[in-house]
Amino acid sequence: MKPEDLTGIVGWGSYIPRYRLPLGEITRVWGFNPEQPKELDVTEKSVAGVDEDAVTMGWEAALNALRRAGVNPRDIGAVWFGTESKPYAVKPSATIIAEALGITPSTMATDLEFACRAASEAIRISIAAVASGMVKYAMVIGSDTAQANPGDVLEFTASSAATALIIGPSSEAAAVFEASYTYVTDTPDFWRRATSPYPLHGEGFTGEPAYFHHIVSAVKGLLEKTGLKISDFDYAIFHQPNGKFPVQVARMLGIPLEKVKPGLVTPMIGNSYNSSALIGLSKVLDEAKPGSRILLAPFGSGAGSDAFSIIVTDKVLEKRDRAPRVVDYLSRRKLVDYAFYAKARGLIKRI
């Protein structure tokens, strides 16, 4: 029996800030071609408020996941926090959330890093921890705030949001894991040195051989490992650095667009880094019928991709209305200008 056979998603939840910056504001301020946002297939991005950071957003997503799971917080034996925008350089964020939710002190807790793949890496770790009996439940949080050098093309998509999953026994799960596969290489397509406030990226290099090569390789590895075919999946969710890449990689894999669209949220909120693919999964779990099979393939620069086969169970029906859905957060929006965005995200420095 595989570790995945014993585990599943017992609870899930997301959080998206209400503030949205139209990308036309970025072209206006920095003089970009007004058509550039169309090339990315993104119209606006979510912006964390002055009083929000990766921890506060992660807390709300985790609270929603707990509500759906319906488990005692004290039974959560591990909290993994995946981010590349943690508020403290030296101090774990996982412990803050664990304490605030009443999970501490008898729990493991740590922050993970692998660019946008840290939370996905945490899912694989959680599967192993739960299946081995080391913990009964594990909490996975992916949360990030917008980080982009002002005036850089990355500013068009770098956004803020969070998603949390509670991994537990398959008998309690709204969706069970069928199989997983990971593909990693040393591909420096995106990085940030210790003294740099903003990340740098390799322009076109971030697509191929980074994003496309790793996701395609991970998915093909999963198919070879399981004997499944693309046609066996009802939904396909990929990392969403923009609105074009997920559609492009789906075409490369022969996946119809109608299987990708339900989990595609980037055109509306931008790229929320560690929450990017997971918020797509959260949205699909909000809507999918029992028996549906989901292909989930997050990606992280540096570079690596995981591929998961997930099957929705009947329990999803009783759990989904216990917390706000992704569409509830998508519809709760307030447009802001670049000045608000610059102030909220600390781009303006006082001397």
Residue 4 annotated to the active site: no
Token representation of residue 62: 């985790």
**Peptide bond connecting 37 to the previous residue in cis, omega within 30 degrees of 0:** no
**Under 8 Å between Cβ of 131 and 4:** yes
In degrees and rounded to multiples of 5, residue 262 shows phi and psi of -60, -30
Q: One of 4, 44, 84, 178 is an active-site residue; which one?
A: 84
Token representation of residue 7: 């585990």
Residue 287 annotated to the active site: no
For 226-240, letters b (16+ CB in 10 Å) and e give bebebeebbbbbbbb
Q: One of 201, 213, 214, 239 is an active-site residue; which one?
A: 239
Over the Cα atoms of the chain, what is R_g? 19
Q: One of 4, 25, 116, 172 is an active-site residue; which one?
A: 116
Residue 239 annotated to the active site: yes
For 152-189, letters b (16+ CB in 10 Å) and e give ebbbbbbbbbbbbbbbbebebbbbbbbbbbbbbeebeb
Provide DSSP, 248-289: HHHHHHT--GGGTGGG--HHHH-B-GGGHHHHHHHHHHHHPP
* Unique residue bearing structure tokens 């799971």: 69
Spatial distance between the Cα atoms of 111 and 250, rounded to a whole number of angstroms: 31
Angle between helices 276-287 and 118-131 (to 10 degrees): 60
Active site residues: 84, 116, 239
